[in-house]
Structure 1
Amino acid sequence: MGKRRKPSPPSRARLAVLTTAVAGGAVLAAGTAHAEPTPTLASVKEQVDKLNEEAEQSIERYNGFQARQQSLQGDANRLQDKVARGQETMNELRTRLGAVAGEQYRTNGIDPSVQLMLDSDPAGYLERAAAQNQVVEGQTALLKQARDEQRRLDQDRAEAAAMLAQLDSVGASLGEEKKQVQARLAQAQALLNKLSAADRAKLNAQESAEKAKAAAQQAAAADRASRAAGRPDLGAAAPASGRAGDIVKFATAQLGKPYEWGATGPGTFDCSGLTGAAYRAAGVKLPRMSQDQWNAGARIARGDLQPGDLVFFYSDLHHVGLYIGDGKMIHAPRTGKNVEVLAISAIPYMGAVRPA
């Protein structure tokens, strides 16, 4: 067999070409791996809308925790006042028993029942005194009053302690829900910041147009209301009177005001904050959360809707608006938007309620 010929080494020129090609490929691969394409306006809007919907769910939970916290705080304050009054009563009773003891000392010595009552553990005394039957006839009423008051005081203290523990728990939940809202809104803003300058300009133009539209709706409604004796006329919406008229009139006056989560007016609102404020203007108090407002009245079929009814959206009822007729509502949409008129068919409709 003949000897195999060794392949000749590549020339310097060929090595240079190969090296350049490999290096160029590596740079291209690295650039492909790390470059982030500019997101489109449509994709960002889709993600931002989803984050805002999730934020609104958290906002309604936040509103519920906040309302619960306020209720618990009021109950805790009343209980603590009651405990303070009970302690004052006990102090007065012990002072009276001290006077009895002093009188007995000057005569025949302190009665064992009174001496025990003045002990540092009056609750313990009351049990021992009852067991030993040491209460003399002249002190029965006073000692019985002291015993009953001590029992009430102990019960009120235990109830106040439990109430404060609940308050701490709700406060922790409120803080956690607030973080969730802030995190989702921050994510949405970060996505918006990634838009190209052209897309940001388009989005700003859209938002400006929406604000201008809401302002025009508000001005037109106010003008029509003043010319129609306070009865707003939004397009073909059915006229409302009485309580419903007051609700629609109030809601109309809020058109164009900014959405702010957790707000109930007068300058800013979230969705349930707006509906609650509108009903307050008509003398009706609604619960704070949209889900609780769902249980604040009778269910109304879509075909029976009347101005002033509450209309609810999404499967978990985390959004609520005020029906004004003609298939439209006034609602506070989300962060970055203003109170506006919107067709109830524009978002997932779930049902309606007419509060009593």
Structure 2
Amino acid sequence: MGTGKRGLITAAVTVVCAVTVLAVPGTAFASPDPSPAPTTAPNLTLPPSHSKDLEEVRKKLDTLYHDAAVATDAYNAAEEQAKTQSAELVELAKKIVKGREKLAELKDRAGAAARSQYRSGGLPDEAQLLLSDDPGEFLDGAGRVIQGQRATKGLLGEMTRTQQDLEQYAKDASAQWQKLEVNRKAKAEAQKKIEKQIAAAEKLESQLEKEEKERLAQLQEQAAQQAQNAWLDTGVLDDIKGEATAQGQKAVRYATAQIGKPYVWGAEGPASFDCSGLTSQAWADAGVAIPRTSQEQWRQLKRVAVTDMRPGDLIIYFDDASHVAMYVGDGKMVHAPRPGRTVTLAGAGSMPILGVVRPGA
């Protein structure tokens, strides 16, 4: 086996091994269009118990969980890209294996043709004509030799093209592998950021007494209700009269059926969800494929005015599109809020709305 052939086989094995590694759960890759980096975590040390400002604590927690959501969106986007790149690697591996088999077959055919030509072409054509008892038979044979030579030339050309294809496949596989390796490191870093932000939030909450935790929960609910009331006071609900399509109704049924299931970052069901995992799976159940992350849902799906919103539409929150929920009607939405919470119904205006997008036709 030649050096070039061994190299191509090695490339094929490398690709297959790479795909195998990619298939392992938890393998991490990063998005080529990274989301904004989480902001610097605030000071987590609480003042003495008698002077704790729970409103300040609430704001700190909101910041920490928001930054965790940003990192989660980047992680999820990278996961989707990894799936696409893995599929491309699988196809390259198949092409390399098939190309190697084709090249071996062409070499066998070319070798057989060369041996046949050697056996019949040992003498010049003039000598064969003089020694032949039947000039017609000689001419027939000469024609077959010419055809054989042409066929051999065609085989050699096909071999060259196949060899070139294999070399290109190997280059593509190598480039793809390098890209995935870079992404793996970047995504691992994103995972660390998520875990760091969540751990910081949990540490902050753990410093609170039971009564303070209860009061904090009340403050959080009050803040959400105040935002919802302000949104409703604009009269926006009077203008929202859109009716859900059949697909939208099905997506809403799926999403609301998940109420009570825990939020887990990176999860897309069936036992747990993050915010975009819930919305993407709800629409998948309705037969419509949409992007996996809130940022890509905002970027790729059709945008509609809030006043044109109808059940099944997706509400994108915050300036960086780091959260998404599904509108269910009557000024409410269903969403997976954040770590430590469960899928729930809430006011559609309880967080800053960036805009609304519509899956499907």
TM-score w.r.t. length of structure 2: 0.69
- Deviation string 1:242-295 (CA, Å, 9 cap, x unpaired) is 111101111110111111100001110001000001101110001111111113
**The one of 278, 283, 297 aligned to 1:274:** 278
By how many angstroms is 1:179 displaced?
0.6
Aligned to 1:17: none
Secondary structure at 2:186 match in 1: helix
Q: Across the two proteins, how many residue pairs are aligned to each other?
A: 271
Q: Does 1:87 align with 2:100?
A: yes
Q: Does 1:174 align with 2:178?
A: no
Amino acid at match of 1:263: A
**The one of 37, 40, 48 aligned to 1:37:** 48
Measured on the aligned residues, the alpha-carbon RMSD in Å equals: 2.7
By how many angstroms is 1:136 displaced?
4.3
Q: Does 1:159 align with 2:172?
A: yes
Aligned to 2:157: 144
Question: What CA distance in whole angstroms lies between the structure 1 residues aligned with 2:251 and 2:72?
Answer: 23
Question: What CA distance in whole angstroms lies between the structure 2 residues aligned with 1:276 and 1:332?
Answer: 12
Which of 48-57 and 89-98 deviates more? Answer: 89-98
Q: Does 1:326 align with 2:330?
A: yes
**The one of 192, 204, 209 aligned to 2:205:** 192
Amino acid at match of 1:75: E
Secondary structure at 2:110 match in 1: helix
**The one of 82, 86, 99 aligned to 1:73:** 86
Question: What CA distance in whole angstroms lies between the structure 2 residues aligned with 1:300 and 1:183?
Answer: 36
Q: 1:175 to 1:88 in 2, by over 3 A?
A: same
Question: What CA distance in whole angstroms lies between the structure 1 residues aligned with 2:79 and 2:267?
Answer: 11
Aligned to 1:31: none
Secondary structure at 1:295 match in 2: helix
Q: Does 1:290 align with 2:301?
A: no
Mapping for residues 199-238 of structure 1, pairs under 5 Å: 199-200=212-213
Mapping for residues 51-130 of structure 1, pairs under 5 Å: 51-103=64-116
- Deviation string 1:122-169 (CA, Å, 9 cap, x unpaired) is xxxxxxxxxxxxx94341111111111111111111111111111112
The structure number with the bigger radius of gyration is 1
Aligned to 1:308: 312
By how many angstroms is 1:96 displaced?
2.2
Structure 2 unmatched runs, 5+? 1-44, 123-147, 222-239
- Deviation string 1:215-246 (CA, Å, 9 cap, x unpaired) is xxxxxxxxxxxxxxxxxxxxx99874511110
TM-score w.r.t. length of structure 1: 0.70
Structure of higher RCO (CA pairs closer than 8 Å, 6+ residues apart)? 2
Question: What CA distance in whole angstroms lies between the structure 1 residues aligned with 2:79 and 2:159?
Answer: 39
Question: What CA distance in whole angstroms lies between the structure 2 residues aligned with 1:73 and 1:302?
Answer: 38
Q: 1:83 to 1:201 in 2, by over 3 A?
A: same
CA contact (8 A) 1:328 1:343 kept: yes
CA contact (8 A) 1:41 1:195 kept: no
